């Protein structure tokens, strides 16, 4: 059984920038990219007897970068995510995990949870220790966005214009999550990408006029 709690971190300038969600520790789906999922933190307990509350950082302040790995266009570029390098990202994840611990200790869970396995009380009590634990256990859903920036002609880092046309290349458009300036809150990017595609296809097909100004 799953539940999700969207909430706003203390002092955050964006609403619903965080999510707590429950899940079993075992995911029967085969990994498409081995090693992306988080490790099972079940200790000596059989995995089918363990559940977890995960803290999702929906709107990170930090950003990664993409670099070409080769002059060969068929070679996948190198992605550097730079997770949790921004201090406010670390602070918000610590806050979320400590909130999850308080939930587990509440009346609502008294008949559900026998005890907490990870993190220990000693780790929770120390910011540095908790930061180390988070770095050791962090995973990703890989809702990658913002790698092909949209912006005006005056922005030297912008790759596409407001119609998703690649600047300086005739007849080439980028229509996916890479044109987004930020990840859309904490719910994944699928619906937003569908909306972008439906909008841009009208421009490409000529059903809606495109300004060249």
Residues in a beta bridge with 160: 150, 166
Asked if residue 100 lies in contact with residue 55, where contact means CB atoms within 8 angstroms, the answer is yes
Q: Does the active-site annotation cover 143?
A: yes
Q: Which is catalytic among the residues 2, 86, 118, 143?
A: 143
CA distance 10 to 96: 10
User: DSSP characters for 49-83?
Assistant: G-EEEEEEESS-S---EEE-S-SSTTSPPEEE--T
Asked if residue 57 lies in contact with residue 93, where contact means CB atoms within 8 angstroms, the answer is yes
CA distance 201 to 31: 32
CA distance 67 to 58: 24
CA distance 152 to 119: 47
Active site residues: 143
């Amino acid at each position: 059984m799953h539940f999700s709690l969207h909430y706003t971190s203390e002092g955050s300038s964006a609403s619903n920038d965080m999510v707590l969600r429950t899940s079993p520790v075992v995911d029967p789906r085969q990994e498409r990219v081995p090693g992306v999922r988080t490790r099972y933190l079940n200790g000596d307990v059989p995995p089918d007897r363990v559940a977890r509350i995960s803290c999702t950082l929906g709107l990170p302040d930090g950003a990664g970068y993409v670099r070409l790995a080769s002059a060969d266009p068929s070679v996948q570029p190198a992605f550097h995510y730079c997770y949790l390098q921004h201090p406010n990202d670390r602070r918000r994840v610590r806050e979320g995990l400590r909130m999850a611990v308080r939930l587990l200790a509440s009346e609502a869970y008294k008949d559900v949870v026998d005890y907490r396995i990870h993190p220990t009380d000693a780790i929770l009590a120390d910011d540095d220790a908790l930061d180390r634990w988070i770095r050791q256990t962090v995973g990703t859903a890989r809702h990658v966005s913002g790698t092909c920036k949209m912006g005006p002609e005056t922005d030297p880092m912008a790759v596409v214009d407001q119609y998703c046309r690649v600047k300086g290349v005739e007849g080439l458009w980028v229509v996916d999550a890479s044109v987004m300036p930020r990840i859309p809150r904490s719910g994944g990017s699928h619906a937003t990408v569908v909306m972008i595609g439906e909008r841009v296809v009208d421009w490409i097909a000529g059903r809606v006029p495109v300004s060249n100004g």
